[in-house]
Amino acid sequence: MGHFLTSLYWISYSLLFEPEKFAWLIPFSVVLIPALMSFFIGLFTIFISYFINKNGDRILICLIFASGWSVTELVRGHAIFDFPWNLLGYTGASFEYFSQIASIIGVRGMGFLIALAAVIPYTKKLSPILITYCCIGICFLYGYHRLTEQQAADVNDQIIKLRLVQPNFQQVHFGDEEKRLEFLLRLIEMSNENGYQDRDLTIWPESAYPFLINNNRGLFEVLGKVVKSDSALVFGADRYVDHLKKSYLFNSMISISKAGRLVDYYDKKILVPFGEYMPLRKFLPILKKVASGASDFSKGDAFSLLHVDQVGKVMPSICFEIAFDSLYNRELVKNALFILNITNDLWFGDSIGPYQHFTMSRIRAIEYGLPLVRVANTGISAVIDCYGRILSICELNAAVVEDFNLRVTRAFSIYTEYKLKMVILALIGLIMAIASVTFLLKVRKY
């Protein structure tokens, strides 16, 4: 409970943007969400204490603990609503060499190894301790080899001249027409700063375009001034669709070319619970979602690549979606130039939340073996290479226009190439099952 209180407190910050409506929910968000997360860890500790109280084989107990922890993280991230946040594996992201193992076993496998390394001294036996830390050492050696033996840049590699626009808007317009227009003009002004003629792609953050893209068509075409004939603009916007007498509102990533021509769009598929949709809305009509607007957003149809005029295809990820590993299959990954993550972390202020969000992006780059470009309203915007290393970064709460020439290189990822996510999860579950059965048989024997 203490862990989740101190690592998820930032969720309540979003309730302060309309305090007259939502301030009363702060005690619930500060306590209830950590309590829900803690519930699963509590069940896990009851489960593991059963084995400890039997005073059986300590090696088996450690294996049960590490695999059980990983299974618990999987359950707590999806059982009530999708929120796979603060996984143990992300603590390895700060270690450049160790984090490369994510290209084989992903963040879930990293979590298993870290949990095992943390508890293996409980065995008080030299051999399992040495074996475990040798495995950790091998991970570091693999990472060192992967980074030092990386493929040299090829003269034929595509270079994309990017312009990342981090406007640092500290207000939410909530339907204020004048404020919307002010935001849009400011974005255009920042995008047209010196050097824009040399850029291939300008990127704005999530929800940057403050109007429904179906309306104000003339205003939408003004955005064509941001790009020249051989460049493009990508930004986040709300997309409204009427279909078969039903209305749908999507949180979308939009790609346009010269003169504001719509080239392609991607509709966000994984929505933020309580922010973009209300879980159990039918059963709890008294509650409203935190984000402005009366209705829930709709889920996009499928994960797909976004075509960017004059550039190619990129892997789109809007805000929260970057927290989910292995959403894209290897066929789509092979056709993507880089991962493009746009977000708006304004809701969570100067807290630990945006930093947690950013850390997840680094692991995704390693898992997919692709560079990652992240553009956020208030930060943290960054360019990350296919090994999870930061090439360029814009600090939190700063208005920045960052130009970066991205060389499109990719690293081979066993994790993505062979679709290992389910294999890793199944293997962890199998370890827990075998260790548990073996332990119980030994206890019964004695």
Tens-digit pLDDT profile for residues 159-178: 999 999 999 998 777 677 78
Q: Which position among 139, 319, 386, 394 bears the catalytic label? A: 319
Amino acid at site 316 = P
Stretch 108-128: mean pLDDT: 96
Q: Clarify whether residues 386 and 434 are in a common domain.
A: no
Stretch 67-95: mean pLDDT: 92
Q: Clarify whether residues 322 and 228 are in a common domain.
A: yes
pLDDT at position 283 over 60: no
- Sign of CA pseudo-dihedral 419, 421, 422, 427: positive
Q: What is the pLDDT of residue 229?
A: 64
Q: Clarify whether residues 110 and 16 are in a common domain.
A: yes
Q: Which position among 62, 73, 139, 206 bears the catalytic label? A: 206
Q: Picking from 45-54, 135-144, 316-325, 337-346, which range would have the lowest pLDDT averaged per residue? A: 45-54
Q: What is the pLDDT of residue 262?
A: 85
Q: What is the pLDDT of residue 99?
A: 97
Instruction: Using alpha carbons, list the distances in angstroms from residue 357 to 83, 181, 305.
Output: 12, 29, 22
Q: What are phi and psi of 126, to 5 degrees?
A: -65, -45
Q: Which position among 258, 268, 269, 289 bears the catalytic label? A: 268
* Of 181, 108, 167, 205, residue with least CA distance to 432: 108
Q: What is the pairing mode between strands 306-308 and 312-318?
A: antiparallel
Measure the CA angle with vertex 413, ends 409 and 415; round to 5°: 155
pLDDT at position 384 over 90: yes
Q: What is the pLDDT of residue 392?
A: 96
Structure-block tokens of residue 57: 């084989």
pLDDT at position 273 over 90: no
Structure-block tokens of residue 324: 């989910």
What's 197's domain CATH number? 3.60.110.10
Q: What is the pLDDT of residue 174?
A: 67
- Secondary structure (3-state) at 264: strand
Stretch 16-30: mean pLDDT: 83
Q: Clarify whether residues 346 and 428 are in a common domain.
A: no
Q: Percentage of the chain surpassing pLDDT 90?
A: 58
Q: Please count the residues of the chain.
A: 446
Q: Clarify whether residues 269 and 383 are in a common domain.
A: yes
Mapping DSSP onto H, E and C, the string for 267-295 reads: ECCCCCECCCECCCCCCCCCCCCCCCCCC
Round the average pLDDT of the chain to a whole number and report it: 88
| Domain tally, the chain | 2
Stretch 20-38: mean pLDDT: 87
Instruction: Using alpha carbons, list the distances in angstroms from residue 348 to 163, 164, 357.
Output: 25, 21, 11
Q: Clarify whether residues 384 and 427 are in a common domain.
A: no
Q: What's the CA gap between 34 and 11, in Å, rounded? A: 10
Q: Where residue 55 falls among pLDDT bands split at 50, 70, 90?
A: confident
Stretch 124-129: mean pLDDT: 95
Q: Clarify whether residues 325 and 250 are in a common domain.
A: yes
Q: Clarify whether residues 110 and 202 are in a common domain.
A: no
Q: Which domain holds residue 80?
A: 2-150+419-445
Q: Clarify whether residues 402 and 324 are in a common domain.
A: yes
Tens-digit pLDDT profile for residues 297-343: 888 888 999 999 889 999 999 999 999 988 898 899 999 999 999 99
Residue 319 annotated to the active site: yes
Q: What is the pLDDT of residue 131?
A: 96
Residue 206 annotated to the active site: yes
Q: Can you spell out the DSSP letters for 336-388?
A: -S-EEEEE-GGGG-SSSHHHHHHHHHHHHHHHHTS-EEEEESSS-EEEE-TTS
Q: Clarify whether residues 179 and 284 are in a common domain.
A: yes
Tens-digit pLDDT profile for residues 197-207: 888 999 999 98
Q: Clarify whether residues 308 and 424 are in a common domain.
A: no
Q: Clarify whether residues 145 and 55 are in a common domain.
A: yes
Angle, helices 102-119/126-148, rounded to nearest 10 degrees: 150
* Of 318, 314, 317, 316, residue with least CA distance to 336: 314
Q: What's the CA gap between 274 and 15, in Å, rounded? A: 11
